[in-house]
Amino acid sequence: MIEDLMKVERIPVTRMEQRVERLQDERVIWNDIGRAANSLRESARALYGFQSPFNSRIGRSSDSSVLTADVTRAAQESMSRIEVRRLAGSDHFMSNSLDADTSVPEGTYGFRVGDQERSFRFRGGSMREFAEAVNRNAGEVVRARVVQNTRTTSVITFESQRTGEQNRLSFLDAAESFALESGLIAPGRDSQRQIPLADQALARWTLPLDRDAVTVSENTLTVRPGGELSLPVSPGFPVDGSTVIEFDVRVTDRSPAALTPPPPPPGPQIPDGPGVTLEDVTVPGERSRAVLPQMETPQPPRIVNDMQFLFAREGSASVPLPRLSDTTEFQTVRVPLADFVDRLDSLDIRNRNSHRDLEIRNVRIFDPTARDDFEPVNPIQVAADSIIALDGVEIVRDTNAIDDVIPGATINLHSVSTRPVTLNVEPDRELVKDGIITFIGHYNQLVRDINILTRSNTAVIDEVGFFSDEERETAMARLGALQGDTTLTQLRSRLQTDVMNPYETRAGRELSLLAQIGISTNASGFGGSFDASRMRGYLEIDERRLDSALRNDFAAVRDLFGFDTDGDFAVDTGVAFQVERSLAPYTQSGGVFAMRRQGIDTRVERTASDIDTYTRRLERTEQRLRTDFGRMEGAMQMLDDNQRALDQLGSPNNQRR
């Protein structure tokens, strides 16, 4: 009976608990709406703020197997033609085949690479133990490795950790002795020869020397059109597989002056005949009637283009060396002589051009593998600088990652090219496209959530085709939960206005709407049919139109999302700017959503307090009822006992007594 009475008394508490549950569910809803709105606001700010993808750059190579580029936001848009003539390399030497059980003696082993030097004490041991000691003590400058090349023999290799011709590997102290004994290096030979450039060093080739066409000044040889000469190499320099000839050269094209035809000759000047004067009367002389030939304009000079300037002579045979190209500055050229001759007896030079001057200096023949007094026996690779031609200008660096040629970009060289590779530094359009798609996705998500919460028609859920079963169940539970809430309907209306309005861009009316770059509600559907779901305010993207706009009107698309109209370096208009501005009062600290959550929290706290108060009163009521019913049960028990006593007094047994 008490429990039945208390059920009736608890009805207000149950209602208050249900109210708290509804308020907590509503708070979760406002939290989710706040997160969706904040995601949209952040994606909008990302499209025009400091980290905008419109400011990102990408390096696009026409042949990524030759070179790629790492580009920062500081890089300017540009197009460069780059020819990779040589990669930078590091010294990598291999020993002769050695017995697998060869031991390395005790000693101090040192290595030098460029200006870095490392040495350590080795107590003696196997080649593998020695290689481990090298890597442990000098690994930042050189790495060693032991490879078993046959069942009974092994080789040891040493690889420098720095590229560039100036970073050659040298063996010091006990390392030098070990390198000589193991066949890593051998005593060097006459590995280089400088070819002097002086008047007395010039010799006739096929024609007598023309001192007007061939001159030497400040160790620079100039060969003008029609000049030829020979630079003897005495004694002849023997050429092996690694011998090269290197020189600085400049070819100057003077064709504008050469192509200007001379003016026609002026011809003879025929004066007037003498006049006669008598007193005050003068009779002028008549012009001579001599017939003069017609003056013809001379033909322009014959233009000759011949980029074959240099020849290597062995004995009496001259072999053409690679052709040169026009340059504005001196460029260093290196030619492998083993591809042309076995011995170099002279360098022959001829300029058959009608309008080019050849200048050459610093001519030398050398073996790039030679190391001071030693040379590698089995070089896998030798230290060398990278050489590239950037728009015709030759550039030499000691690395394959060149970061000081194109501002804000690092050119990564991968292989030598047979033809120039185009490197475009351009906006990262894919990153921008991803940012726009993210922005539209967050916009549609917020509009979808508002539609579900403010409408009771299940069509707003059915038209969302990507819901999972769990998401669909949650959406059905929230359908119409905030129906009639003007806060959300006003926000949706404001956002729809923001994305449909025109905005100022540098393209003017040609590009001022999202629809002009393929982003719209497309409410008419296809074929003119009407689709109600397209009237909910969702945006669709025509990727082909968006790609075309990003490719052809990139700057105007950037303006459409955020544009500085007054030149104060602060964005003041644009779709993304306006959406972020519209959302700020709702999502910021102390904004509309925060106030809604705070109001719900206050109501929950007040209702929880009422529940506690009412629960304590119910406890007192239940205790009072239990006390009252306890007394009633005691009185009834007493009456029952009295009744039984009276019944016993009136029994037959008591009457006989």
What was the pLDDT predicted at 282?
76
The span from the CA of 22 to the CA of 529, in Å, is 41
Single out the residue in 127, 162, 187 at which a domain terminates. 187
What letters, b where the CB count within 10 A reaches 16 and e where it falls short, cover 67-83? Answer: bbbebeeebeebebebb
What was the pLDDT predicted at 22?
85
What is the arithmetic mean of pLDDT over 42-51? 91
Query: Which run of H or E residues covers position 4?
Result: helix 2-46
Q: With 70 as the cut, is the pLDDT of residue 625 above it?
A: yes
Domain match, 164 and 177 both: yes
What was the pLDDT predicted at 531?
52
Domain match, 482 and 436 both: yes
What residues does 425 pair with on adjacent strands?
59, 78
The span from the CA of 464 to the CA of 478, in Å, is 15
Q: With 50 as the cut, is the pLDDT of residue 295 above it?
A: yes
End-to-end distance of the chain based on CA atoms, in angstroms?
46
Domain match, 182 and 202 both: no
Domain match, 485 and 514 both: yes
Residues whose CB falls within 8 Å of the CB of residue 425, separated by 6 or more in sequence, listed in order: 57, 58, 59, 60, 69, 71, 75, 76, 77, 78, 79, 80, 406, 408, 409
The span from the CA of 216 to the CA of 214, in Å, is 7
For residue range 524-576, what is the model confidence (pLDDT) as tens digits?
Answer: 444 444 455 555 678 999 999 999 999 999 999 999 999 999 888 899 999 99
User: How many Cβ atoms sit within 10 Å of the Cβ of residue 271?
Assistant: 8
| Distances, alpha carbon 450 to alpha carbons 445, 453, 500, 591, in Å | 9, 5, 18, 18
Strand ranges, E, within 161-256:
169-173, 185-187, 192-194, 214-217, 220-223, 228-238, 244-253
For residue range 173-182, what is the model confidence (pLDDT) as tens digits?
Answer: 999 999 999 9
The span from the CA of 420 to the CA of 47, in Å, is 36
The domain tally of the chain equals: 3
| Distances, alpha carbon 480 to alpha carbons 23, 317, 469, 487, in Å | 15, 97, 19, 14
Single out the residue in 590, 611, 633 at which a domain terminates. 590
**Contact between 125 and 199 (Cβ < 8 Å):** no
* Alpha carbon of residue 120 to chain centroid: 42
What was the pLDDT predicted at 265?
64
- Answer yes or no: is 321 within a domain: yes
The span from the CA of 53 to the CA of 49, in Å, is 9
Phi, psi of 116 (to 5 degrees): -100, 135
The span from the CA of 115 to the CA of 166, in Å, is 9
What was the pLDDT predicted at 259?
52
What was the pLDDT predicted at 580?
95
- Answer yes or no: is 628 within a domain: no
Domain match, 440 and 358 both: no
Question: What pTM was computed for the model?
Answer: 0.65
What was the pLDDT predicted at 646?
79
What residues does 348 pair with on adjacent strands?
230, 311
Domain match, 182 and 212 both: no
Quick one: what percent of the chain has pLDDT higher than 70? Answer: 90
Residue 391's region, left for phi above 0, alpha for psi from -120 to 50, else beta, is left
Phi, psi of 152 (to 5 degrees): -115, -5
Domain match, 164 and 234 both: no
Provide the 3-class DSSP secondary structure of residue 220: strand
Domain match, 244 and 215 both: yes
Cis peptide before 652 (omega within 30 of 0): no
Confidence category of residue 603, pLDDT binned at 50, 70, 90: confident
Of 158-162, 202-206, 535-539, 545-549, the range with the lowest mean pLDDT is 535-539
The span from the CA of 615 to the CA of 597, in Å, is 26
**Contact between 239 and 359 (Cβ < 8 Å):** no
Based on the number of CB atoms within 10 Å of its own CB, is 575 exposed (0-12), middle (13-18) or buried (19 or more)?
buried
Domain match, 248 and 337 both: yes
Query: Which run of H or E residues covers position 18?
Result: helix 2-46
**Contact between 539 and 495 (Cβ < 8 Å):** no
- Answer yes or no: is 408 within a domain: no
> Which two structure tokens, joined as six digits, stand for 48?
């025009």
For residue range 311-332, what is the model confidence (pLDDT) as tens digits?
Answer: 999 998 999 999 998 888 898 8
Chain mean pLDDT for the chain: 87
Confidence category of residue 372, pLDDT binned at 50, 70, 90: low
Residues whose CB falls within 8 Å of the CB of residue 293, separated by 6 or more in sequence, listed in order: none
For residue range 244-279, what is the model confidence (pLDDT) as tens digits?
Answer: 999 999 999 887 654 556 666 666 666 666 777 777
Quick one: what percent of the chain has pLDDT higher than 90? Answer: 56
- Answer yes or no: is 481 within a domain: yes
What is the arithmetic mean of pLDDT over 359-369? 88
What was the pLDDT predicted at 510?
93
Q: What is the DSSP letter of 394?
A: E
Residues whose CB falls within 8 Å of the CB of residue 137, separated by 6 or more in sequence, listed in order: 118, 120
- Answer yes or no: is 285 within a domain: no
- Answer yes or no: is 239 within a domain: yes
Domain match, 171 and 199 both: no
Single out the residue in 590, 609, 634 at which a domain terminates. 590
Nearest Cα to 560, choosing from 571, 575, 539?
A: 575
- Answer yes or no: is 452 within a domain: yes
Q: With 90 as the cut, is the pLDDT of residue 618 above it?
A: no
- Answer yes or no: is 391 within a domain: no
What was the pLDDT predicted at 236?
87
Nearest Cα to 37, choosing from 487, 619, 388, 549?
A: 487
Phi, psi of 522 (to 5 degrees): 50, 45
Of 16-30, 352-366, 590-604, 638-652, the range with the lowest mean pLDDT is 638-652
For residue range 59-74, what is the model confidence (pLDDT) as tens digits?
Answer: 999 999 999 999 999 8
Question: In this structure, what CATH number is given to the domain that contains residue 351?
Answer: 2.60.120.430
Domain match, 459 and 542 both: yes
Domain match, 183 and 198 both: no
Range of the domain at 131: 92-187
